[in-house]
């Protein structure tokens, strides 16, 4: 098929590249000329394992191209994906202006029957609005499809190529046939394509992310309770997760969730609910717990040291999760701003997020080339993001490097007994029974 993808952000670039990898001819569109030039040269503007290699190969083999012109990309295509941003407004609702602008440009460009696929995360009813916009500017037959993405940053290629499920909202058999053919290579091992109405498809994305966020906040509340009653959240988590009705995923306590999806989608779902007269009280609590959790390591540090004025803190991990450089609503931002606001000096290290972090903090923090350099002379080390290289550090080297051997483990990746026997002061999340 001939495919256009409007938007070369995280979702658009992964979508376009993976479709090109299966043999389709894909043109991706972005208004940023520098980004397009970089992509044409085989570079990528984001960090995602495996993506750069796929982009280079498909550009080289002529299946993947990039342009700044939607009119050029969408002319005579079979499928046009809309994968532009939907930033939250002041009250949490998703801003559809970029989606609707892309829809109008596609409508003006198409020259034959086209399936227009909304890949952006959008409120319920957005497919109807896209269809209305396109119908005003073209007489060419088209269908609008809702096809939400379920990509995990750091594992996006695998998620696209080997999905748990593909959700597609359609309102015609013709569009259903096109989408079934498009995704056939990705469901050969019996992963399902779930066809449904467009509004159910749109809501599925928000509901799935809100459920995952709820599990995280619930476990963080359990961790807080463990600290107060002298229990160990790791034992509690294993006891819960062994119940097949519950399972283990997203039951790990920590310093809260961030990124481009969970915080935004939780707020958007609450906003949608309010618009139809429903108070989604559960999600309000999920959001409140998450904001509290981002401050928990700062509060532990204040309780341990009293004043933080003049102390030096090493922070390991800046991105909101491993295997990405994404710092949107990352817990590290809240923690570092709190340390700086209390007069501490902060030295940081992250395997890939330094450039992104520099745009946020400027010269207010010191960037270190490796984790041990960050810890040199530090009064405490704060682990925020559980990159693999942080899981088994050389604790002897670490202790010698630090001014005070104090560890705040925001992801419970270290063994409290082991590090205490080595002379460290250790505090984790919800591990009172071990502490």
C-alpha distance from residue 6 to each of 10, 29, 118, 272 (Å):
12, 5, 10, 26
Element (H, E) at 11: helix 10-21
Q: How far is CA 344 from the centre of its chain?
A: 29
Q: Is 106 within 8 Å of 77 (Cβ atoms)?
A: no
CB hemisphere CA count around 260 (13 angstroms): 17
Whose structure tokens read 């429903």?
278
d(C-alpha 100, C-alpha 117), whole Å: 12
Backbone angles phi, psi at 428, to 5 degrees: -115, -155
Among the listed residues 18, 28, 226, 261, the single catalytic one is: 261
Question: Three-state SS for 186?
Answer: helix
Instruction: Please confirm, yes or no, whether 261 is among the known catalytic residues.
Output: yes
Taking phi over 0 as left and psi of -120 to 50 as alpha, with beta for the rest, 126 belongs to alpha
* Spatial contact of 213 and 286, defined as CB atoms under 8 Å apart: yes
Contact between 82 and 115 (Cβ < 8 Å): no
Q: How far is CA 384 from CA 63, 68, 115, 263, 318, in A?
A: 40, 38, 43, 18, 7
Asked whether the beta carbons of 57 and 34 are under 8 A apart, the reply is no
In 3D space, the residue among 320, 256, 334, 250 whose CA is nearest the CA of residue 288 turns out to be: 256
Residues marked as catalytic: 261
């Amino acid at each position: 098929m001939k495919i256009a993808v409007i938007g070369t952000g995280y979702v658009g670039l992964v979508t376009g590249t993976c479709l090109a990898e299966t043999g389709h001819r894909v043109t991706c569109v972005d208004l940023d000329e520098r980004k397009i030039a970089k992509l044409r040269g085989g570079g990528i503007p984001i960090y995602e394992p495996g993506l750069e290699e796929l982009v280079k190969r498909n550009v080289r083999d002529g299946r993947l191209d990039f342009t700044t012109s939607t009119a050029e990309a969408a002319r005579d295509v079979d499928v046009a994906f809309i994968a532009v941003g939907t930033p939250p407004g002041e009250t949490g609702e998703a801003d559809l202006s970029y989606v609707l602008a892309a829809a109008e440009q596609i409508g003006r460009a198409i020259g034959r029957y086209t399936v227009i696929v909304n890949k952006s995360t959008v409120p319920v009813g957005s497919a109807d609005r896209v269809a209305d916009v396109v119908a005003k500017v073209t007489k060419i037959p088209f269908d609008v499809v809702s096809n939400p993405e379920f990509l995990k940053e750091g594992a996006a290629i695998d998620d696209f190529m080997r999905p748990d499920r593909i959700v597609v909202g359609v309102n015609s058999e013709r569009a259903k046939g096109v989408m079934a053919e498009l995704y056939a290579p990705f469901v050969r091992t019996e992963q399902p394509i779930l066809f449904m109405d467009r509004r159910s498809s749109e809501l599925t994305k928000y509901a799935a992310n809100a459920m995952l966020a709820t599990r995280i906040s619930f476990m963080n509340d359990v961790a807080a309770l463990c600290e107060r009653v002298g229990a160990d959240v790791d034992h509690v988590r294993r006891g819960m997760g062994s119940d097949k009705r519950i399972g283990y995923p997203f039951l790990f306590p920590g310093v809260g969730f961030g990124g481009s999806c969970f915080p935004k989608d939780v707020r958007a779902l609450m906003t949608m609910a309010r618009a139809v007269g429903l108070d989604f009280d559960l999600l309000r609590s999920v959001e409140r717990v998450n904001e509290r959790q981002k401050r928990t390591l700062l509060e532990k540090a204040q309780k341990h040291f009293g004043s933080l004025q003049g102390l030096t803190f090493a922070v390991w991990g800046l991105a909101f999760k491993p295997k990405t450089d994404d710092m949107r609503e990352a817990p590290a931002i809240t923690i570092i701003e709190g340390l700086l606001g209390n007069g501490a000096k902060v030295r940081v290290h992250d395997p890939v997020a330094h450039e992104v972090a520099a745009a946020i903090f400027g010269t207010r923090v010191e960037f270190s080339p490796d984790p041990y350099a960050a810890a040199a002379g530090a009064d405490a080390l704060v682990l925020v993001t559980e990159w693999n290289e942080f899981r088994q550090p050389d604790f002897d080297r670490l202790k010698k490097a630090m001014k005070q051997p104090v560890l705040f483990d925001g992801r419970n990746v270290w063994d409290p007994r082991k590090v205490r026997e080595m002379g460290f002061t250790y505090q984790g999340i919800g591990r009172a029974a071990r502490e």
